[in-house]
Amino acid sequence: TQLILSYNYLETYHWFLLTLVPADLISYETDRYIMQTFAIVAGTILLFLLLLFALLYIYRNNRRRLEHIAFVDEVTGGMSNAAFRIKLKEMLKSAEKNRYTVAVINICNFKLINESFGSREGDKTLRYCMEVLQRNVRKGELAARGEEDNFFLCLEENRQEAITARLQAVIADINSFNRTAKNPYYLFFRQGAYLIDDPQMDITIIQDRVMTACLNRQEYEENTCVFYDFHFTQRIKQEHELNAMLPSALENRDFQVYFQPKVNLRKGKVAGAEALVRWRNPEKGMISPEDFIPLFEKNGNICKLDCYVFEEVCRILDQWRKEGRELFPISVNLSRQHFKNPDFMEQFVEIAVNYQIPKGLLELELTESIFFDDKGIALVRENIDKMHELGFKCSLDDFGSGFSSLGLLKEFDVDTIKLDRRFFMDMSKPKARDVVECLIELSRRLKVQTVAEGIETGEQIEFLKRIQCDMVQGYYYSRPLPAEEFEKWVGWR
Ligand code: C2E
Ligand code: CA
Ligand code: CA
């Protein structure tokens, strides 16, 4: 037998302890220890591996889910904007210039679909549009949903006619569901496109340009594709500039009020004037109201400007009164934006009282578009009554320039209607003359004064005299004039 001998020195009495053990007894124990350790290590590794696999599995699942959320549009099941941007970037990496065009189509009045049929139907519509788009794009092209009801397309086309034709085909395909529908409901689309002339361009800028084109369309372009043009960006920049310049322009009194006389046809003398604003910019020179009024209307800045003009008119009227002039009403344009503030009349009253302007000398011109907002009708009616109570007159401006309704005359107690110059542009047609004649007759019955606007020729004057229009405003008598020149025109100086 193999034995293992060990000895240990014991302090006591300098003894040694000898131990004899059979060798296999020890190796058995060691083997057990080795086996045990091995099993523990293997188990731990296995556990770690299992954990690792589990983690990888969860990670991959989550990643897939996140990718799905990011790259698949939740509502339509099609490509999301994020995926569109990534794919487009990849495609443009190897593309030469002018190869691709990015287009956007936007459903007109989509909110109306949601409102009338519910948002589920709205979602269904979006899903349907996406399906149609997907079957209309070719291999190597993209279709995705952007925000809300915008759909982006990347088409491998560079000719405007080809792009227009393809978008028209897509829209026709979308509306094809009407072939079997009992009550056809046509979808109209705003469309914008940008031919990518620089493949290195940032995708955000590309999409911005497409959107700019889409939003910059004119009314007559409602159903055609508008292609991005450098001027769009220039215009936006210019608009931004004008907005930024407004506060200092008001402070520096760069705005000047011009007066355009209204002539009483029966008496043949001036019976009023309209105040029209002019912007004299130290750097840009004279800026036309057409360039800044619509812009300031968009953001409410117009209210500040209207107040400025109103105050300027009061100041000048006050001066004329002190000079002992025989005064007549001056009208001031009032933007529809004022009606958003229920107490807007107060500020006008305060200014008029401040300058002690006699009642009846100030007239407020409201454009006919104000009167069509259903919710606003009661508000407008109330405000017209309030204007009268406070001593202002009220006129209905640009009558006939849009969808005028004779109902307006019945509903609203205005003192004057101003017939838009469009009525008098083609007086050769008997029908056109009859319409004007009847309107003037009707106004007379309703005891509403009439002003013909934009009158330029003696022929128009003769006709207006014959049908007894009360007043005329137009280049025939005078263009809008600065206060001093206006005073001369009236004969005060
Ligand atoms: P509006 O109120 O219809 O003013 C009449 C416009 O027709 C004026 O243009 C005037 O110069 C022009 N006009 C007058 N007679 C003739 C004519 O015989 N032939 C032609 N072709 N045009 C004539 P303006 O001054 O450029 O003003 C344009 C528009 O800007 C105004 O149209 C008005 O809507 C708006 N506007 C002007 N000043 C103000 C203001 O102080 N406040 C607001 N809210 N709008 C203003
Ligand atoms: Ca006016
Ligand atoms: Ca007008």
Q: Ligand 1, from 250, 258, 276: best to mutate by most atoms within 8 Å of Cβ?
A: 276
Lowest-confidence segment of 42-51, 132-141, 225-234, 405-414 by average pLDDT:
405-414
Residue 427: both structure tokens together: 């007086």
| pLDDT tens digits, one per residue of 217-268 | 776 666 789 999 888 888 888 889 999 999 999 999 999 999 999 999 999 9
Evaluate if pTM is beyond 0.75. no
Best residue among 305, 331, 333, 365 to mutate for probing ligand 1, ranked by most atoms within 8 Å of CB: 333
Tell whether ligand 1 has an atom less than 6 A from the beta carbon of residue 276: yes
Q: How far is the CA of 417 from the centre of ligand 2 (A)?
A: 11
- Checking if the pLDDT of 374 tops 80, the result is no
Nearest CA to ligand 1 atom 10: 480
265: Cβ below 6 Å to ligand 1? no
Ligand 1 test: best mutation among 250, 258, 293, 481, most atoms within 8 Å of CB? 293
pLDDT, one tens digit per residue, over 275-296 is: 999 999 999 999 999 999 999 9
Assigned token pair, 44? 């731990």
User: How far apart, in whole angstroms, are the C-alpha atoms of residue 242 and residue 287?
Assistant: 10
Closest CA to 397 of 260, 257, 265: 260
Q: What's the token pair of residue 67?
A: 């990718």
What does the block give as tokens for 360? 């009846």
CA distance 48 to 307: 76
What confidence tens digit (pLDDT) does each residue in 100-116 have?
999 999 999 899 888 88
Span of 249-258, 328-337, 376-385, 447-456 with lowest mean pLDDT: 376-385
Give the residue from 196, 209, 76 showing the smallest Cα distance to 143: 76
* Across 52-81, average pLDDT: 93
**HEC states along the chain?**
CCEEEEEEEECHHHEEEEEEEEHHHHHHHHHHHHHHHHHHHHHHHHHHHHHHHHHHHHHHHHHHHHHHHHHECCCCCCECHHHHHHHHHHHHHCCCCCCCEEEEEEECCHHHHHHHHCHHHHHHHHHHHHHHHHHHCCCCCEEEECCCCEEEEEECCCCHHHHHHHHHHHHHHHHHHHHCCCCCCCCCEEEEEEECCCCCCCHHHHHHHHHHHHHCCCHHHCCCEEECCHHHHHHHHHHHHHHHHHHHHHHCCCEEEEEEEEEECCCCEEEEEEEEEEEEECCCEEECHHHHHHHHHHHCCHHHHHHHHHHHHHHHHHHHHHCCCCCCCEEEEECHHHHHCCCHHHHHHHHHHHCCCCCCCEEEEEEHHHHHCHHHHHHHHHHHHHHHHCCCEEEEEEECCCCCCCHHHHHCCCCEEEECHHHHCCCCCHHHHHHHHHHHHHHHHCCCEEEEECCCCHHHHHHHHHCCCCEEECCCCCCCEEHHHHHHHHCCC
Angle at 356 between CA 361 and CA 308, to 5 degrees: 75
Of the bound ligands, which one is closest to the alpha carbon of residue 336?
1
Judge whether 151 and 104 are in contact, CB under 8 Å.
yes
Long-range contacts of 424-428 (CB under 8 A, 24+ apart): 424/452, 424/454, 424/455, 424/460, 425/454, 427/459, 427/460, 427/463
- Scored b (16 or more CB within 10 A) or e, 274-284 reads bbbbebeeeee
Between 235 and 371, name the one with better pLDDT. 235
| Res. 375: pLDDT tops 80 | no
Position 373 scores a pLDDT of 67
**Could you tell me if the CB of 376 is within 6 A of ligand 1?**
no
Q: Is the pLDDT of residue 185 over 90?
A: no
Question: Which ligand places an atom closest to the C-alpha of 331?
Answer: 2
Counting ligands in written order, the one closest to the CA of 289 is 1
Mean pLDDT for 446-470 is 96
Can you tell me which atom of ligand 1 is nearest the CA of 334? 44
For ligand 2, the distance from its centroid to the CA atom of residue 366, given in whole angstroms, is 8
Q: Which of 38-47, 189-198, 204-213, 364-373 has the lowest mean pLDDT?
A: 364-373
Residue bearing the CA closest to ligand 1, atom 34 = 333
Q: What is the mean pLDDT of the chain?
A: 92
Q: What is the pLDDT of residue 184?
A: 82
Rounded CA-CA distance 54/1 in Å is 53
pLDDT of residue 25: 79
Q: Which amino acid is at 415?
A: D
Percentage of the chain beyond pLDDT 90 is: 75
> Among all chains, which residue has been given the structure tokens 């490509």?
79
CA angle 475–480–483, rounded 5-degree value: 145
Q: Flag whether pLDDT at 274 surpasses 80.
A: yes
- pLDDT above 70 covers a percentage of the chain that reads 98
- Give the pLDDT score at 220: 61
Q: For residues 359-387, give the mean pLDDT.
A: 85
**363 CB within 6 A, ligand 1:** no
Number of the ligand 1 atom closest to the C-alpha atom of 365: 2
Ligand 1 neighbour 474 (Cβ under 6 A): yes
* Reported confidence tier of residue 362, pLDDT bands at 50, 70, 90: very high
Ligand closest to the CA atom of residue 337: 1
Q: Is the separation of the CB atoms in 260 and 473 below 8 Å?
A: yes
Question: 63-67, 183-187, 276-280, 295-299 — which is least confidently predicted?
Answer: 183-187
- Token digits of residue 245: 């310049």
Quick check: CB of 306 below 6 Å from ligand 1?
Answer: yes
- Encoding tokens for residue 14? 């300098």
Separation of CA 235 and ligand 2 centre (Å): 25
Query: Does residue 480 line the site of ligand 1, with CB under 6 A?
Result: yes
Q: Quick check: CB of 456 below 6 Å from ligand 1?
A: yes
Position 443 pLDDT exceeds 90: yes
pLDDT at residue 487, rounded to an integer: 97
Residue 171 CA to residue 191 CA, distance in Å, equals 10
CB 127 within 8 A of CB 231: no
